[in-house]
Amino acid sequence: MGAAFLTLLKRDLTLAMRRRSDWLNPLVFFVIVVSLFPLGIGPDGSLLSEIAPGVIWVAALLATLLALDGLFRDDFDDGSIEQLLLSPQPLPVLVLAKILTHWLISGLPLVLLSPLLALLLQLKLQALPTLLGSLVLGTLSLSLIGAIGAALTVGLRRGGVLLPLLVLPLFIPVLIFGSSSVAAAATGFPVSAQLSLLGGLFFLALALAPWAAAAALRISAES
């Protein structure tokens, strides 16, 4: 089972490196959205610092959402999903490998780039560790939750239009706790409560999302 997980992970990462637009487009979108706020609002440092947590988190959420439709789409179109369904390995484990690949190519670059964009928005340096920690937990949760919606809509002709409507309500708690933790860190307040809630959401999604996404893939393949 572990060998199958690693093999699928390596295969998907290799394919992602060949299709660079799959991970470059969300990253460029993230940079553009955050960079436009100083141009639109002006050079007021106090205002930029105040809105920085919400801007970065909303941009990260939208960038993750932009990459979700391709999570299972290519494999569904070329028949690879049917091979996964017929595999003797547990389907939730294979789905988890695909979710981890999605995070490595879309979520992790956002996390690594976020400190530079935070400095652009003049976020206080003391909030950067909280920003990184919350984005790691948050983007992992977004990938896990989004995989359920991606699996449900993969068989639909215009599933990319329906996908945001399905997953955005589930993304809201992650957005609230993530942005509030960064805002609290910037003002010197404790952030343990928000990060604990983010961690709880991540572990809950980790326990349930692979099974739900696997069931949704079976439904999409049979429809």
Q: Is the pLDDT of residue 2 over 80?
A: no
Task: Tell me the percentage of the chain whose pLDDT exceeds 70.
Answer: 96
Residue 69 · residue 163 · CB < 8 Å? yes
CA distance 18 to 8: 16
Dist. CA 130–CA 32, nearest whole Å: 23
C-alpha–C-alpha distance, residues 35 and 117, integer Å: 7
49, 186 contact by CB (below 8 A): yes
The residues near 139 (Cβ < 8 Å, ≥ 6 apart) are 60, 64, 103, 106, 107, 108, 110, 111
Question: 23 with 106: CB under 8 angstroms?
Answer: yes
CA–CA separation, 145 and 125 (whole Å)? 30
What is the per-residue pLDDT across 76-126, written as a single tens digit (0 to 9) for each? Answer: 777 777 887 887 888 888 899 899 988 998 889 999 999 999 988 888 889
Which residues lie below 8 Å from residue 205, measured CB to CB, with a gap of 6+? 140, 141, 144, 145
- The domain locations on the chain are 2-222
User: Stretch 162-166: mean pLDDT, rounded?
Assistant: 84
* pLDDT tens readout for residues 22-65: 778 888 999 999 988 888 887 777 888 889 899 999 999 999 88
Cα–Cα separations (whole angstroms), residue 142 to 4, 6, 20, 113: 24, 22, 21, 17
Report the candidate in 24, 11, 18, 14 with the shortest Cα–Cα distance to residue 80.
11
